[in-house]
Amino acid sequence: MEDQKKSYTSSLLSRVIEPGETTDAAIKEITDKILDKAADARSCYAATHELDDDIRFAEMLLVDGCFILELLYRWQKKDHPKKGDAILGNTLVFLDVRHDLLLLENQIPMFVLQTLFAFSLVQTCTLPDMIISFFGNMLNFKLEIRKVCWNRC
């Protein structure tokens, strides 16, 4: 999965580099923004002992956050080819990844995603709209179950 995260991150970053800007400069700029928020982000986790170094922690947030945003973007974009995509092109992998993103221990702080989203320049809609679109049918399913349970009680 780490290879997929890096691939998705590269795809997102390749689209956000402004004309005349180098990839290294873009990565440094966004890493600096994440580093500014590292202490706040670190306080959102019970333990980050394996990532005591702020640079490594910021890199983890950058890769995980860009991966999530690229996944949301590809899901949202109707003309993105699903065939050949290692995640969206494989239903079982997609369902597994989507489930993993819902697990509390796999969350990255929303303000980190918002920072990356603001940097991404591929804002076809709002971040909350993209998240709702991605998880929507799971939420509707749960709402339907909740309605059935309430009607029976």
Q: pLDDT tens-digit profile of 3-31?
A: 889 888 888 888 777 777 777 787 888 88
- What pLDDT, in 10s, does the model give residues 70-90? 998 888 886 666 777 889 888
Q: Parse the chain into domains and list their residue ranges.
A: 2-152
41, pLDDT greater than 80: yes
The CB-based long-range contact list for 29-38 (8 Å cut-off, 24+ gap) reads 29/119, 30/62, 30/115, 30/116, 30/119, 31/55, 31/58, 31/59, 31/62, 33/115, 33/119, 34/58, 34/61, 34/62, 34/65, 34/112, 34/115, 34/116, 37/109, 37/111, 37/112, 37/115
pLDDT-derived band at 152 (thresholds 50, 70, 90) equals very low
Among the listed residues 24, 104, 128, 108, the one whose alpha carbon sits nearest the alpha carbon of residue 61: 108
DSSP 97: H
131: nearest Cα among 107, 153, 105? 107
Q: How far apart are the first and last CA of the chain?
A: 43
- For the whole model, what pTM was predicted? 0.80
- Going by C-alpha positions, the residue among 111, 101, 93, 90 that lies closest to residue 68 is 101
